[in-house]
Amino acid sequence: MRAANTPVNNQGKAQPSELFGTVVVAGVGLIGGSVALGLRERLLTRHIIGLDASAAALEEALALGVIDEARTSVGEWLRAADLVVLAVPVKALSPLAQALAPYLSPSALITDVGSVKTSIAAAFEALSVRNFVPGHPMTGSERGGVSNASAALLENAVWVLTPTERTPLTALSRMRRLVEQLGAAPLVMPPDAHDSLVATVSHLPYLASLALTHMVARDERLSLLAAGGFRDLTRVASGDPRMSRDMVVENKLALREALSSFLRQLTHLAETLDDPEELLAAASEGKRTRDNLPVVKRSLLPPKYDLVVAVPDKPNQIGAITRILGEASINIKDIEVLAIREHGGAIRLGLEEAGDVDRAAELLRGEGYMTRNRG
Ligand SMILES: NC(=O)c1ccc[n+]([C@@H]2O[C@H](COP(=O)([O-])OP(=O)(O)OC[C@H]3O[C@@H](n4cnc5c(N)ncnc54)[C@H](O)[C@@H]3O)[C@@H](O)[C@H]2O)c1
Ligand SMILES: O=C(O)C(=O)C[C@]1(C(=O)O)C=C[C@@H](O)C=C1
């Protein structure tokens, strides 16, 4: 079923890649289609089956050479899948997971690309699907559908992986490698941390774009005067309304908090109109932050402070370690599985601040873990 070849990953390290004999992409649209094309172009699979509720989407995907075979309903045929990628709208993810689960091979790697992670992570846990690694590539477009799919969309994107306490280290490790083989940069964090962060960087900007477009809709002269600045700030308002609505509603708790912060920011900025020096400071900070965004600089991930932890071969090790550090308010920005041996393995934790490394090491040693700082 699987063979290994040894391409070089985007950090220049030789890494064995996994060949997935049969891949199922459920939801053959913009993101599902892009994953399928990436797998094909990088020779990571022999056969791709598209599963979609829309016969038209499947026909288009076949015609474009994105998939080899089309299916409109689940069934025994799914047992042949070595990798299953769920790429349907957020609201359809959990019902689809439920429909697929009885047919999945226990060795298959399962992932999804949905924009909200706590709900789908919980759904797969409840279904006791073992090798499920929730994911979210931080890239996309306001133009959906397979005709806009491209392997290049995923290249250099940060791809968040949100394992739960039950995700096996081996599954996380396979998923990390797959993301790297697709040219993206994996970043591991708990599902709730992901949802809280995307509320600010993705879901709030979507609501802000709606608010701005609604203001323009009131007066035709405004739309005539709207130039590049307005266009750039409101691009995401052109996305599919139903899909976008469902995405923000699914994350409404975190989004409400982000909205409150945004309203406080706007109120503060309104006050600085009477204090030009303060407004200049805010504008300079805004420029600095925006100019240094990795997506603007086209750089990969920001620097992190690393701690390597030896983990015994027991269940729930990621959960135990993240809980110990979470209780001490130490933020884990990334987790990488460095090695898996019969009697245990090692993971690298990417921490937010230099001082966190010593604090985390002390806490973990206190709980019986062996640690090593990595410069
Ligand atoms: N568009 C983006 O920028 C972006 C970025 C990252 C992640 N995502 C996530 O990726 C997922 C897919 O988004 P997209 O932009 O590729 O959407 P899309 O509309 O391009 O594709 C979705 C596909 O899913 C199919 N589908 C819908 N309901 C289904 C069901 N119940 N069963 C089977 N097929 C079904 C549709 O027919 C369509 O072909 C979403 O969960 C979204 O949150 C989107
Ligand atoms: O349109 C784009 O460029 C996007 O990257 C879309 C975007 C975003 O808000 O950044 C939208 C939703 C997804 O979950 C991820 C990415």
Q: Could you tell which of 93, 115, 232 is best to mutate to test the pocket of ligand 2, judged by most ligand atoms within 8 Å of the CB?
A: 115
Ligand 1-lining residues (CB < 6 angstroms) = 26-32, 52-54, 57, 87-90, 92, 96, 113-115, 136-137, 140-141, 144-145, 240, 247
Q: Could you tell which of 138, 195, 298 is best to mutate to test the pocket of ligand 2, judged by most ligand atoms within 8 Å of the CB?
A: 138
The enclosing domain of 328 has a CATH number of 3.30.70.260
Cα distance between residue 213 and residue 362, in whole Å: 51
Which ligand is nearest the CA of 246, by number?
1
Q: Which two tokens stand for residue 131?
A: 């090798």
The total of structural domains in the chain comes to: 3
173 and 202 together in one domain: no
pLDDT at position 44, please?
Answer: 97
36 and 181 together in one domain: yes
309 and 274 together in one domain: no
Does residue 28 contact residue 48 with C-beta atoms inside 8 Å? no
Which of these, 188, 159, 163, 189, lies nearest to 315 by C-alpha position? 163
pLDDT at position 303, please?
Answer: 58
Cα distance between residue 120 and residue 267, in whole Å: 36
Q: What is the pLDDT along the chain (375 residues), one digit of tens a residue?
A: 333 333 333 344 445 678 999 999 999 999 999 999 999 999 999 999 999 999 999 999 999 999 999 999 999 999 999 999 999 999 999 999 999 999 999 999 999 999 999 999 999 999 999 999 999 999 999 999 999 999 999 999 999 999 999 999 999 999 999 999 999 999 999 999 999 999 999 999 999 999 999 999 999 999 999 999 999 999 999 999 999 999 999 999 999 999 999 999 999 999 999 999 999 999 999 999 999 998 887 666 555 688 989 888 777 888 889 889 989 999 887 787 776 665 667 888 888 888 899 999 999 999 999 998 764
Q: Atom 10 in ligand 2: which residue has the minimum CA distance? A: 202
Which domain range does residue 345 map to?
305-374
20 and 73 together in one domain: yes
The ipTM (two decimal places) reads 0.99
Which run of H or E residues covers position 246?
helix 241-250
Can you tell me which residue has the tokens 């997935």? 20
133 and 212 together in one domain: no
Pocket lining: 17 vs ligand 2, CB cutoff 6 Å: no
pLDDT at position 52, please?
Answer: 98
Q: What is the DSSP letter of 225?
A: H
Q: Which two tokens stand for residue 170?
A: 């081996």
Q: CA neighbours within 13 Å on the CB side: how many for 236?
A: 19
Q: How many angstroms is it from 227 CA to the middle of ligand 1?
A: 30
pLDDT at position 341, please?
Answer: 64
Q: Atom 14 in ligand 2: which residue has the minimum CA distance? A: 115
Please say which residue of 127, 162, 189 terminates a domain.
189
The bridge status of strand 344-351 relative to strand 305-312 is antiparallel
Q: Could you tell which of 88, 94, 113, 235 is best to mutate to test the pocket of ligand 1, judged by most ligand atoms within 8 Å of the CB?
A: 88
Q: At what angle do helices 241-250 and 252-272 cross, to 10 degrees?
A: 90
Does residue 146 contact residue 136 with C-beta atoms inside 8 Å? no
Cα distance between residue 232 and residue 191, in whole Å: 29
Q: Atom 40 in ligand 1: which residue has the minimum CA distance? A: 89
69 and 213 together in one domain: no
Cα-based distances in Å from 358 to 103, 187, 321: 46, 22, 15
Residues whose CB falls within 8 Å of the CB of residue 360, separated by 6 or more in sequence, listed in order: 307, 325, 328, 330, 349, 351, 371
Residue 304 falls in which region: left (phi positive, over 0), alpha (psi -120 to 50) or beta: beta
Please say which residue of 265, 297, 329 terminates a domain.
297
Q: CA neighbours within 13 Å on the CB side: how many for 119?
A: 23
26 forms beta bridges with: 51, 86
273 and 323 together in one domain: no
212 and 283 together in one domain: yes
Which of these, 367, 142, 81, lies nearest to 71 by C-alpha position? 81
pLDDT at position 3, please?
Answer: 35
pLDDT at position 306, please?
Answer: 85
9 and 125 together in one domain: yes
Residue 193: how many other CB atoms lie within 10 Å? 20
Amino acid at 115: S
Pocket lining: 202 vs ligand 2, CB cutoff 6 Å: yes
336 and 226 together in one domain: no
